[in-house]
Structure 1
Amino acid sequence: MARRALILIEGNTHGTGLQYVQAAERLGLHPITLSTDPAQYDYLAAEGIETVRVDTGNLDALIHECSRLRATYDIAGITSAREAVYATVGKICRNLDLPGPNPASIERCCDKFTQRELLAQAGVPIPSYRLAANAAQVERSAAEIGLPVVLKPAVGNGSMGVRLCDNADELVEHTTYLLGGKHIWRSSPRILVEEFAQGPFYEAETMGNEVIGISAAEFGPPPHFVFRQSIFPALLTDDEHERIADVALSCLQALGLDWGPTNIELRWTKRGPVVIEVNPRLASGTYPRRFQLAYGIDPVTEHIKLVIGAHCDLRRRYSRVAAARFLLPDCDGTLDWIRGDNRAAAVSGVAEVKLHAEPKTPIVRKGDYRDCIAHVIAASPSFAQTKAILQRAVDLISWSITPFPILR
């Protein structure tokens, strides 16, 4: 009998790629990663994972490779931890008659302007927005909406290229950055100019047509939107939880996202919950670990179960509060040292401490998820206790950065 395999299109260097590999093995599956450059994912070699080098931007090549693997393995399912290739995953699944997301829905959702149009047509509360292709259109759009505004690439993720602009000078500066060749575009340059919705930030996580959890998050200092802390579940009243869940489900209906995981970002404004963004994938980074600590459910495993056509079990085993703190540098320069992670990990209630930067490496802040140099995860039975544990652990971690010399 052929061995059952799970094919993963590309990987992920920020936690979830390894988690998909490990969850597949726990389910008795043989994970195989197809990637344009498998060497970029350190965990593949470390875990001894089978890899195939193939151009993942070429759908025909991927379908050919998956069909070739079918001659050796029983392909139980195909998926990915990367949003950029998730629509491609859907197309391969349809070609091979396997469970998967609707590729057309994923593509529409990944274009933030198209996403806004569909949400607006469905009456989902969203910020005012315009689409711009040049500096003049950006300036006109900002004038129509009113400063401050948020500028972001129409296609992208991880907050890359996203910035709050409070005044005309910042608007010109960031427009020049986005259109001047410094930002790497995944498609033709198009900028979304968006009203800055102000209020507490929340993320609703869904699986299929069910809201499985809501977290609260805080950002580091503006003008960028880099996560500083996230707590799961959010401390909400029943009414607040219901209103956020209702808006989240309205997003799924408007965008045709009724299969698999979705991450929905919102702010609670004077109007109530307003949708900032819908991400047609499982939330990455520390989210799966925190979800498991809070409810005893591994969302990566449950997603894979959907992928292979098995029953997805989202029943909560218990209820705790899990939080993550993301440590961010306050200047650019060379990281001299970072220490205290072992002491932080020894604090009762701390579930994970991970350093993302090594001494003697350059630190160049980009204003997105890549700025994080370490994270700490803690869990306990209560909101207040978890926050206290987290702070106690974070206070034990310190570092030194020598600023780059100023060139004259």
Structure 2
Amino acid sequence: MARRALVLVEGGPWGCGLLYVQAAQRLGLRPIILSADPASTQYDYFAAERTETIRVDTDDLDALVRECSQLRETYGIAGITSQEEEVYATVGKLCRHFNLPGPNPVSTERCCDKFTQRELLAGAGVPMPAYRVAVNATEVESSAAEIGLPVVLKPTVGGGSSGVRLCRNADEIAEHTAYLLSGKHIRLPSPTQRKWLCSPRILVEEFAQGPLYWADMMGDQTIGIGTGDFGPAPHFVYRGSIIPAPLTDDEHEHIADVSLSCLRALGLGWGPTCIEFRWTKLGPVVIEVNPRLGGAPGPQMVQLAYGVDLIKEHIKLAIGDELDLRKRHSYIAGARHLVADHDGTLDWISGDSRAADVPGVAEAKFYVALKTPIVRKGDWRDCIGHVIAASSSLAQTEAILQRAVDLIDWSITPFPTVDE
């Protein structure tokens, strides 16, 4: 009998890709990664797992179909999935071609366009910040004037806060508009992003002020609601997060109800969804709906808090197995994100093993190697590591995290100036 395989379309840098590989192996599956660039250093961390990677244009559905058809000559393909938003709609199409469980590609594609998402949510009466869409600098300026400063500018496609910035005056609006229109915020263009480059659209949004929350969903079930905080403006780079968030029963129910409204409005409800909110004076308003799991270390925190392995359950869903979303315990899990404070070359970094030895710490991890050039982008790429911990109380978890972070240090030598 052919061994059962799980096909992962792209593995994802520093995120949950390795966790998907390990979860697949625990389920007795052989993980096989299809990637446009398997030789990239972002896949170095799969080496220890001896994961098979195959080069294929992951933007080309026909090429993916051909590759999977060839794999079926050797393996029984149990499921196809991904943790990357950029290819998730394509994964849905691939699953339908092979009659495998998967996300609705039409709903996923609409959700990944932030303006289309906003329009669908607004039509369903879901609470959101005021917004406009603009295609040039003049329209961005007039939209910001209509909404009122400050505003948040973001591209209509993309994730990880790439290209997202708080703009407080006309100069910042003009500067960031030019940056977005140049396309410099795009890392590896997906088909949707290439389409955006040909006809760029910018979302201009009211700055919703208030605490940040997110809901982790699987199907139509709210698994947990967390809270976090960002580093200094104008960017939105996570510094810390806690799950479950300290909410009253009524507040928790309110967010869960709005989350379900989002799923209905967008035609989602299969598989994982991560929904971000700000709690304003009007209550929770939706900042973004992501038709995927939240990025690392979110899934690890959910598992520490509740004993629910969202990655394993996502894979089980993709291969047609029955889910088990029962909560096995209740702890307070937290994370501290290690973020570089200036650009330069990473000379040394240490303390991860000492931090990992602190009682209550589940993981202390660096993402970058020595001598790596650090060039901050104002998004998820600015994080160079994280520490995760859990305990029975919020105060204790925060104390554990602080004790661990205090043991970690690094040195970044600034790049030489022009004069130097």
TM range (shorter): over 0.9
1:368 corresponds to = 379
User: Per-residue displacement from partner, 1:17-75 (whole Å, max 9, x unpaired)?
Assistant: 11111111111111111111112211333311122221111101111221222222211
Q: Is 2:249 the counterpart of 1:247?
A: no
Q: How far, CA to CA, are the matches of 2:375 and 2:54 in structure 1?
A: 33
Q: How far, CA to CA, are the matches of 1:25 and 1:354 in structure 2?
A: 22
2:39 match: secondary structure: helix
- The aligned length equals 408
Runs of at least 5 residues in structure 1 that lack an aligned partner in the other structure = none
2:68 corresponds to = 66
2:340 corresponds to = 329
1:86 corresponds to = 88
2:412 corresponds to = 401
Q: How far, CA to CA, are the matches of 1:389 and 1:266 in structure 2?
A: 27
2:314 match: secondary structure: helix
1:274 corresponds to = 285
2:316 match: secondary structure: helix
Q: How far, CA to CA, are the matches of 1:67 and 1:317 in structure 2?
A: 39
2:333 match: secondary structure: strand
CA contact (8 A) 2:14 2:367 kept: no
User: Per-residue displacement from partner, 1:137-180 (whole Å, max 9, x unpaired)?
Assistant: 10010001000000000000010000000111111111111113
User: Per-residue displacement from partner, 1:72-100 (whole Å, max 9, x unpaired)?
Assistant: 22111110111111000100111111110
Partner amino acid, structure 1, of 2:163:
G
Q: How far, CA to CA, are the matches of 2:253 and 2:142 in structure 1?
A: 37
Q: How far, CA to CA, are the matches of 1:339 and 1:361 in structure 2?
A: 14
Give the C-alpha shift of residue 407 in structure 1.
2.4
Mapping of residues 303-318 of structure 1, within 5 Å: 303-318=314-329
Q: Choose from 275, 297, 301 the match for 1:286.
A: 297
Give the C-alpha shift of residue 181 in structure 1.
4.6
CA contact (8 A) 2:11 2:35 kept: yes
Give the C-alpha shift of residue 361 in structure 1.
2.5
CA contact (8 A) 1:332 1:401 kept: yes
Identity over aligned pairs, percent: 71
Partner amino acid, structure 2, of 1:44:
F
Give the C-alpha shift of residue 387 in structure 1.
0.5
CA contact (8 A) 1:38 1:44 kept: no
Runs of at least 5 residues in structure 2 that lack an aligned partner in the other structure = none
Q: Choose from 342, 345, 358 the match for 1:347.
A: 358
User: Per-residue displacement from partner, 1:188-243 (whole Å, max 9, x unpaired)?
Assistant: 21110000000000010100111111010100000000000011111111011000
Q: How far, CA to CA, are the matches of 1:63 and 1:357 in structure 2?
A: 34
Q: How far, CA to CA, are the matches of 1:141 and 1:327 in structure 2?
A: 35
Q: How far, CA to CA, are the matches of 1:371 and 1:181 in structure 2?
A: 19
Normalization by structure 1: what TM-score?
0.98
Q: Choose from 101, 104, 128 the match for 1:102.
A: 104
Q: How far, CA to CA, are the matches of 1:244 and 1:317 in structure 2?
A: 23
Q: How far, CA to CA, are the matches of 1:373 and 1:258 in structure 2?
A: 33
Mapping of residues 179-190 of structure 1, within 5 Å: 179-184=181-186, 186=193, 187-188=195-196, 189-190=200-201
1:39 match: secondary structure: coil
2:152 corresponds to = 150
Partner amino acid, structure 1, of 2:320:
G
Q: 1:242 to 1:171 in 2, by over 3 A?
A: same
Mapping of residues 151-300 of structure 1, within 5 Å: 151-184=153-186, 186=193, 187-188=195-196, 189-300=200-311
Give the C-alpha shift of residue 254 in structure 1.
0.3
Q: How far, CA to CA, are the matches of 1:52 and 1:340 in structure 2?
A: 35
Q: How far, CA to CA, are the matches of 1:54 and 1:398 in structure 2?
A: 39
Q: How far, CA to CA, are the matches of 1:256 and 1:279 in structure 2?
A: 13
CA contact (8 A) 2:331 2:390 kept: yes
1:131 corresponds to = 133
Q: 1:384 to 1:133 in 2, by over 3 A?
A: same
Normalization by structure 2: what TM-score?
0.95
